Structure 1
Amino acid sequence: MTLEFAIRLSEVMLALAMIQQAGEHLRQARGRALFVARISLCLMLLAGLQPGAALLGLFLSSLVHLWRYGGPYNGGSDKMTILIVTCLMVARLGPNSLWAELAMSYLAVQLVLSYFVSGYVKIVKAEWRSGQALVDVFTFSAYPVSESLRGWAKRPRLLQGMSWGVMGFEVLFPLALLHPIALFAGLAIAATFHLANAFLFGLNRFFWIWICAYPSLIWFQGRVFG
């Protein structure tokens, strides 16, 4: 994957993901103008009209968004959104191709760390190693888990196996960089993991925004390990 194609693919995916995010707020009268502006900028980016200017506008609107809501109110998905916007903006507006390579490399490394660090944080905690953390999630979670799924809390061995599956995948994810086939397999598993979280817990934003960073990692793997 070429650098230009990785940047453009990420831009298209980002635009679609941010339109979905902004669309959730259009029914609210308060602050609607901000999200209408963000959708307009995303449409510019989607069409390839002045992508650098569109990304700069999305970056500035993200700062307004942070001020308006007192921080990334959707947590990790908002942080990843701002990270991708910033890296793509630098890639487009930087003075030369080196800036674009550095920006996309930084995004790729942060994507890898997002999985590895998440796995490490889990694996050092006894409640994750025993599966109790997932038992608590299905028992007490405020996420929209259906009653049938809450019954999984009564199957601790299954949840312990799921815990180790998630932790093992996350901490070993950096090894996927060693071969293109391993990377595509790793990204497919990661996307499936995010999709499962979207269905189980309603964390749909994580699925859409995380895959927006995947082109940067595919390019990075070829650039560094290819």
Structure 2
Amino acid sequence: MSFDLALRLTEALLALALAQQALEHMASPLRGEAALFAPRLALAAALALGVAPGWVCAALLAHGLLVLRRFDGPYNGGSDRMTLLCLICLTGAHWAPEPAWRALSLAYLAGQLTLSYAISGWVKIVNPDWRTGRALRDVFLFSTYPVSGNLRGFAGRPALMRATGWAVMLFEILFPLSFLHPAALAASLVVAAAFHLANAALFGLNRFFWAWLAAYPSLLWLQARLMG
């Protein structure tokens, strides 16, 4: 995958994440939400269409910093951080003065994506509640997200919770190894995307899906560059 293609795909996928966030806020009854996020929706549309992407990324980054001030930080946790990380790296990839620095901006995004999975797996695997399946059981049992009654019943199956928890932990902590072969990386990204989609469908973590997918092209580009 070429640098330009990876950049364009990242922009297009991130535009979907930004549009989703904007639409959620614009549907909010809270005063001022629509006015604050209408510019994000317009800029996301421009980014999706490839209109002046360098300027649009810089404007979206500035808007993201404004939103941070409005909510006293990344109130939606990891998805907000990944969105801002993508915007910072895209802005750098467009505006850095040297080609090597522009490439480094996209490579940094790929590195942070890899670390996001590996560190998440490590944090889980050193937690005894995750190793026994209790943590995942509690997610199903006590989650405030719209988990149906039938899905909550899985909390009463400790062997399933333990096996599923270990599958998640091992996949995350071993994710960096997928970088060793193109087929392994492609398969791992498919599994990771399915994981985020399941979290969106089951637990309402819908913002994570597009935010993380937006960083996938950078990893495919970096692997192709290093192995080519």
TM-score in terms of structure 1 length: 0.97
Runs of 4 or more off by more than 3 Å in structure 1?
Answer: none
- Distance in 2 (CA, whole Å) between partners of 1:190 and 1:215 is 13
Aligned match of 1:25: 25
Q: Runs of 5+ in structure 2 lacking a partner?
A: none
Q: Runs of 5+ in structure 1 lacking a partner?
A: none
TM-score in terms of structure 2 length: 0.97
Is residue 104 of structure 1 aligned with residue 106 of structure 2? yes
Correspondent of 2:179 among 177, 180, 184: 177
- Distance in 2 (CA, whole Å) between partners of 1:77 and 1:88 is 16
> Alignment partner of 2:27: what SS?
coil
Q: State the shift of 1:26 in Å.
A: 1.1
- Distance in 1 (CA, whole Å) between partners of 2:135 and 2:49 is 44
Cα pair 1:104 1:216 within 8 Å, conserved: yes
- For residues 35-184 of structure 1, the aligned pairs below 5 Å read 35-184=37-186
Correspondent of 2:194 among 187, 192, 195: 192
Q: Deviations over 1:31-82 (max 9, x none)?
A: 3222111111112212222111100100000000000011111100000000
Correspondent of 1:215 among 197, 214, 217: 217
Q: State the shift of 1:141 in Å.
A: 1.4
Stretch deviating more after TM superposition (63-72 or 40-49): 40-49
Q: Identity percentage over the alignment? A: 54
Stretch deviating more after TM superposition (14-23 or 41-50): 41-50
> Alignment partner of 1:24: what SS?
helix
Q: Deviations over 1:113-168 (max 9, x none)?
A: 00000000000111100001111111111121111111111100000000000001
Cα pair 1:138 1:153 within 8 Å, conserved: yes
Is residue 10 of structure 1 aligned with residue 10 of structure 2? yes
Q: State the shift of 1:27 in Å.
A: 2.7
Query: Matched residue pairs, number?
Result: 226
- Distance in 2 (CA, whole Å) between partners of 1:33 and 1:57 is 16
Q: State the shift of 1:85 in Å.
A: 0.5
Cα pair 1:91 1:104 within 8 Å, conserved: yes
Q: State the shift of 1:96 in Å.
A: 2.3
- Distance in 2 (CA, whole Å) between partners of 1:218 and 1:82 is 20
- Distance in 2 (CA, whole Å) between partners of 1:139 and 1:148 is 11
> Alignment partner of 1:145: what SS?
coil
Alignment RMSD, CA only?
0.9
> Alignment partner of 1:152: what SS?
helix
Cα pair 1:177 1:225 within 8 Å, conserved: no
